[in-house]
Amino acid sequence: MRIATWNINSVRTRVDRAVAFLERNDIDVLAMQETKCADDKFPYSAFEAAGYEVAHVGYHQWNGVALISRVGLDNVRDHFPNQPRFHKDPEKPQEREARAVGATCGGVDIWSLYVPNGREIGDRHYDYKLEFLWRLAEAVEPGTPQVFCGDYNIAPTDKDVWDRAFFEGKTHVTEPERAAFDNLLESGLAPIKHEDPYSYWDYKAMRFQKNEGMLIDFQLTGMEAGGFVDKHEREGKGASDHAPVVADYDVTRVLIDDVR
């Protein structure tokens, strides 16, 4: 099974690119983040015409996640258990955001996740991010075929950023964030293997042209898989600031012996 994860940064803006990507790379399941639209605005017909089913969670023009599958789409869930909630006003009821969608695709439990950014160290959104990650670890079932795809908004090691000094005092590289990411791995997951250093390049300061990027998009799994970052999708006019991470899975082999 070939699975991809991609922060599309507005699906309605890039729907043609997305369909072309699916066909060119022979993708079975695409986990998409930052669709930036409500459910009734999602371009379902474009993907259905290409032979895919769609599960989308979007409440308004922010966030938004989707699973796009040609190998089945069963047991669709619009959140994981105990998924935390957030509202910018702490005095108002906290709301569940459109940051997770899960489904069974071809016998594999696949999640598309858009982890909160965190904004600034000490911000309520930073605490929300950490809680989101720790709660997510509770959804891991070691020894079962699961894939947790998404934009994690964390660079797990210093080699995953183009310049560690540039991020001093900023989110994405702090010890609490990395500890929360490591906890996911200790729950029985591992990132799929690939040789590409980055998956995200900011639009600002010619970051892509200078290859000043970050590795923050991952497929975490307990199955055997290897893949690549499709850097070409970051090229050209109208590209997302993220590139898709693509992986090929042997769905018959779960790495039970590697579960820690």
What pLDDT sits at residue 138?
Answer: 97
pLDDT tens for each residue of 163-220:
999 999 999 999 999 999 999 999 999 999 999 999 999 999 999 999 999 999 999 9
pLDDT over 90 (residue 51): yes
pLDDT tens for each residue of 107-146:
999 999 999 999 999 999 999 999 999 999 999 999 999 9
Q: Please state, rounded to an integer, the average pLDDT across all residues of the chain.
A: 95
Do the strands 2-7 and 100-105 form a parallel or antiparallel pair, or are they unpaired? unpaired
Q: Is residue 114 among the annotated active site residues?
A: yes
Residue 151 labelled as part of a binding site? yes
Domain architecture of the chain: domains with CATH: 2-258 (3.60.10.10)
Maximal CA-CA distance, the chain: 49
Residue 242 labelled as part of a binding site? yes
With contact defined as beta carbons under 8 Å apart, do 29 and 69 qualify?
A: yes
Q: Is residue 125 among the annotated active site residues?
A: no
What pLDDT sits at residue 126?
Answer: 98
Given 52, 114, 200, 249, which residue is catalytic?
A: 114
pLDDT tens for each residue of 241-254:
999 999 999 877 66
Q: Is residue 194 among the annotated active site residues?
A: no
